[in-house]
Amino acid sequence: MRIVAEHLSYTYNPGSPFASAALRDVSLTIEEGEFFGIIGHTGSGKSTFVQHLNGLLRLPSSQKHYRPKRLKKGQAPPPATVLTVGDFDLTDKKTNFRALRKSVGMVFQYPEYQLFAETVRDDVAFGLKNFSKEKLSDAAIDEAVRAAVEVVGLDYEELKDKSPFELSGGQKRRVAIAGVIVTRPEVLVLDEPAAGLDPLGKREVMELLHKLHREWCKTVVIVSHDMDEISENCTRAAVFADGTVRYVLPPRELFRHAQELTELGLDVPLTAKLTALLQEDGIVVDSDFTTADFCEKVLALWKKRKEGAQ
Amino acid sequence: MKDVSFGQFYPVDSFVHRLDPRLKIVFLIAYIVAIFLASNFYGLAACAAVLLLIMIAARIPFGKVLRAVRAVTFLVLFTTALNVLFYKGETVYWTWKIFCVSFEGIIFSVFLALRLVLLVICSSMLTYTTTPVSLTDGVESLLTPLKWIRIPVHALALVMSIALRMIPVLMDETARIKNAQMARGADFESGNLVKRVKATIPILVPLLLSALRRADELGDAMDARCYTGGNHRTKYKKLRFTWRDLVAFLLVAALIGGVVAMKILLPAPY
């Protein structure tokens, strides 16, 4: 499913002293099959944007406050907001939001804090039961839950009757992700999926997401403030700042804007920093800024120099 | 969930916001006494006028105040209906079995309803114009006499301020968990009562766990900073009386005096 947003704006608590514009005229297209990254500083509007994608924040109410009631003479009407996910038109109140939520899985920050059921099996089955129109047989539930739990890398037989609260932090997060993907959504959106994990845990989660992207969900969108995470994993990334989209580029090109990124309070990935430092010494490394590729290129250069010296 | 702002602090800078919280609490009590002293419409009108003045001085929008009233609409309507139907007055319009609608009954119920509305508005004015922190400071300071009989006033005030502080945090948490469960297809809006109560379990369990976790972390954080309670603690913000407090004091004193005077001098027709 293709995600198209045009001229999307959103204000929290409109018309009160707490009012804050979270999105201003955001236009962004995410193609089917992408592993898309959304990066921005805290409060840049990135989480607000993704919450629109499955209708948790609704458009009509936000638009009402954004558009001026009466237009001044000669003033052009503001461009119409467009927000579609596949065939779902989210600007339409009559859209079937349940069906939308079934096709757009949303994993929030610290998803392990949403676990509630007595057993892992029940918790993962929660979404499945909610979204199915008729009552599912136990066997059908078992089969779907087993597949979801196994794809996130856990042992179903061992865990199914355990309480989700007995698990380790990493296991909890995996169970929570399983609880979202169990309905086989076409688009999977994750808000800071690696937040609060150690480096190894981060890498494992990212590997899991790539696996899901290959085998399970066509499109994956991750929200993050960690440049390394985005540059290592995404096909394209959008930079959010102050509720607007600054750039939408493949990571490799994104980091040519290193200075602006730093000004927006975002870090550039380690590889980009090293490239810049090496460039000062006249060493040009032409990598795609992923750690693996960077190391390979640098090692190749190193060997060449060594041979040259001999 | 949209009505969370009821009773919450409204952040503008105004005359009323700057008043000493201790005085504001005392004034609220005095004002409530005045409402109940007022035995006729003149007295209530005086109370309402003073409240209007406070509202304007506090720069709280009228809609915000109405929202506080809306929360008790049902209570007001219910008591009014009961009073109208059961008050035994002299000028009877209509009777049926035990019900009786009379002129005096209607007047009496309107009077009570007004009292109730004024009561709600003035209490909400306190919370709209006072931050939870200064509110607890005020309460703690006012309850100082209880310390002499060994009641842990400081601990109680701390409990109160933490509870108040946690309300918006838990509200946010609730919204977050609700969103997460809605993304998993949870439905909180349809079905009969039993179904709806059951539907809240996926919110309540994580919410309770998170509240406990937060309490635990807060306790650890306080321990880590060697918090031991009230003895010998000094305050960052000392409460001080200013000219504003004097003005407010005179106003409230005048109100009470006026209401009492009206009670004696103006024997109302009703």
Q: Which residues in chain B have their CB less than 8 angstroms from residue A108's CB?
A: 176, 179-180, 183
Q: Which residues in chain A have their CB less than 8 angstroms from residue B5's CB?
A: 16
Together in a domain, B125 and B247: yes
Using the Cβ of B80 and the Cβ atoms of chain A, whether some distance falls under 8 Å is answered with no
Is A16–B5 a contact, with Cβ atoms under 8 angstroms apart? yes
Residue B217 within any structural domain of the chain: yes
Q: Which residues in chain B have their CB less than 8 angstroms from residue A165's CB?
A: 209
Identify the weakest region by mean pLDDT among A76-80, B46-50, B154-158, B244-248: A76-80
pLDDT over 70, % of chain A: 92
pLDDT at residue B73 greater than cutoff 60: yes
Together in a domain, B86 and B162: no
Mean pLDDT is highest, among A96-105, A140-149, B10-19, B39-48, for: A140-149
Together in a domain, B92 and B4: yes
Q: What is the mean pLDDT of chain A?
A: 84
Residue B15 within any structural domain of the chain: yes
Residue that wins the pLDDT comparison between B39 and A108: A108
β-sheet bridge partners, residue A105: A188
Which of A102, A130, A165 lies nearest to residue B187, judging by beta carbons? A130
The range of the structural domain enclosing residue A155 comes to 3-268
Together in a domain, A208 and A295: no
Together in a domain, A242 and A166: yes
C-alpha to C-alpha distance for B121 and B99, rounded to whole angstroms: 31
Together in a domain, B247 and B231: no
Is A102–B185 a contact, with Cβ atoms under 8 angstroms apart? yes
Is B182–A56 a contact, with Cβ atoms under 8 angstroms apart? yes
Using the Cβ of B141 and the Cβ atoms of chain A, whether some distance falls under 8 Å is answered with no
For residue A62, the model assigns a pLDDT of 46
C-alpha to C-alpha distance for A100 and A90, rounded to whole angstroms: 9
pLDDT at residue B237 greater than cutoff 50: yes
Together in a domain, B3 and B116: yes
pLDDT at residue A245 greater than cutoff 60: yes
Mean pLDDT is highest, among A56-65, A144-153, B187-196, B231-240, for: A144-153
Q: If you average pLDDT over residues A284-310, what whole number do you get?
A: 83
Is A131–B180 a contact, with Cβ atoms under 8 angstroms apart? no
Residue B210 within any structural domain of the chain: yes
Which of B12, B177, B184 lies nearest to residue A17, judging by beta carbons? B12
In the numeric block, which tokens belong to residue B216? 């635990």
C-alpha to C-alpha distance for A20 and A12, rounded to whole angstroms: 5
Residue-wise pLDDT tens digits, B157-173? 888 888 877 887 888 89
For residue B1, the model assigns a pLDDT of 34
Using the Cβ of B184 and the Cβ atoms of chain A, whether some distance falls under 8 Å is answered with yes
The range of the structural domain enclosing residue B105 comes to 1-130+240-270
For residue A78, the model assigns a pLDDT of 67
Given its phi and psi angles, is residue A55 left (phi above 0), alpha (psi -120 to 50 degrees) or beta? Answer: left
Q: Which residues in chain B have their CB less than 8 angstroms from residue A98's CB?
A: 185, 187
Together in a domain, B183 and B262: no
Together in a domain, A244 and A257: yes
| Kind of pairing between the strands at A219-224 and A82-85 | unpaired
Together in a domain, A44 and A173: yes
For residue A267, the model assigns a pLDDT of 78
Map residue A84 onto helix, strand or coil.
strand
Among A51, A53, A65, A116, the strongest candidate for a mutation testing the B interface, having the largest count of B CBs within 10 A, is: A116
| CA distances, B189 to each of A88, A229, B109, B193 (Å) | 22, 38, 36, 10
C-alpha to C-alpha distance for A47 and A42, rounded to whole angstroms: 9
Residue found by looking up tokens 């339409």 in the block: A92
Residue B8 within any structural domain of the chain: yes
C-alpha to C-alpha distance for B69 and B63, rounded to whole angstroms: 10
Identify the weakest region by mean pLDDT among A163-172, A244-253, A285-294: A285-294
Which of A16, A106, A165 lies nearest to residue B183, judging by beta carbons? A106
Together in a domain, B188 and B266: no
Which of B177, B185, B206 lies nearest to residue A131, judging by beta carbons? B185
Together in a domain, A38 and A179: yes
Question: How much is the pTM?
Answer: 0.73
Together in a domain, B261 and B229: no
Is A113–B206 a contact, with Cβ atoms under 8 angstroms apart? yes
Is A183–B185 a contact, with Cβ atoms under 8 angstroms apart? yes
Together in a domain, A282 and A160: no
For residue B269, the model assigns a pLDDT of 55
CATH code of the domain containing A202? 3.40.50.300
Contact pairs from chain A to chain B, CB under 8 Å = 58
Residue B140 within any structural domain of the chain: no
Residue B144 within any structural domain of the chain: no
C-alpha to C-alpha distance for A20 and A43, rounded to whole angstroms: 10
Phi, psi of A144, deg, nearest 5: -65, -40
Together in a domain, A21 and A38: yes
Residue-wise pLDDT tens digits, A53-84? 888 887 654 454 445 555 566 666 667 778 88
Q: Which residues in chain A have their CB less than 8 angstroms from residue B179's CB?
A: 51, 56, 108
Q: If you average pLDDT over residues A186-196, what whole number do you get?
A: 91
Identify the weakest region by mean pLDDT among A19-28, A73-82, A268-277, B39-48: A73-82
Residue found by looking up tokens 């000493």 in the block: B20
Together in a domain, A141 and A256: yes
C-alpha to C-alpha distance for A302 and A289, rounded to whole angstroms: 17
Together in a domain, B37 and B98: yes
Together in a domain, A240 and A273: no
How many angstroms away from the CA of A115 is the closest CA of chain B? 6
Phi, psi of A198, deg, nearest 5: -80, 165
pLDDT at residue B55 greater than cutoff 50: yes
Using the Cβ of B210 and the Cβ atoms of chain A, whether some distance falls under 8 Å is answered with yes
Q: Which residues in chain A have their CB less than 8 angstroms from residue B187's CB?
A: 98, 130
Together in a domain, A64 and A41: yes
pLDDT at residue B225 greater than cutoff 80: yes
Q: What is the mean pLDDT of chain B?
A: 83
Together in a domain, A240 and A293: no
C-alpha to C-alpha distance for A210 and A202, rounded to whole angstroms: 13
C-alpha to C-alpha distance for B132 and A29, rounded to whole angstroms: 45
For residue B82, the model assigns a pLDDT of 87
pLDDT bracket for residue A132 (50, 70, 90): confident
Together in a domain, A239 and A301: no
Residue-wise pLDDT tens digits, B88-120? 777 777 777 777 788 888 888 888 899 999 999
Q: Tell me, what's the ipTM?
A: 0.82
For residue B4, the model assigns a pLDDT of 45
Using the Cβ of B267 and the Cβ atoms of chain A, whether some distance falls under 8 Å is answered with no
Q: Which residues in chain A have their CB less than 8 angstroms from residue B180's CB?
A: 106, 108, 111, 114
For residue A70, the model assigns a pLDDT of 55
Among A108, A118, A130, A223, the strongest candidate for a mutation testing the B interface, having the largest count of B CBs within 10 A, is: A130
Is B10–A130 a contact, with Cβ atoms under 8 angstroms apart? no
Together in a domain, B7 and B125: yes
Q: If you average pLDDT over residues A98-123, what whole number do you get?
A: 90
Among B184, B198, B200, B203, the strongest candidate for a mutation testing the A interface, having the largest count of A CBs within 10 A, is: B184
For residue B2, the model assigns a pLDDT of 39
Residue B143 within any structural domain of the chain: no
Q: How many domains does chain B have?
A: 2
Together in a domain, B126 and B64: yes
pLDDT at residue B217 greater than cutoff 90: yes
Is B184–A102 a contact, with Cβ atoms under 8 angstroms apart? no
How many angstroms away from the CA of A206 is the closest CA of chain B? 21
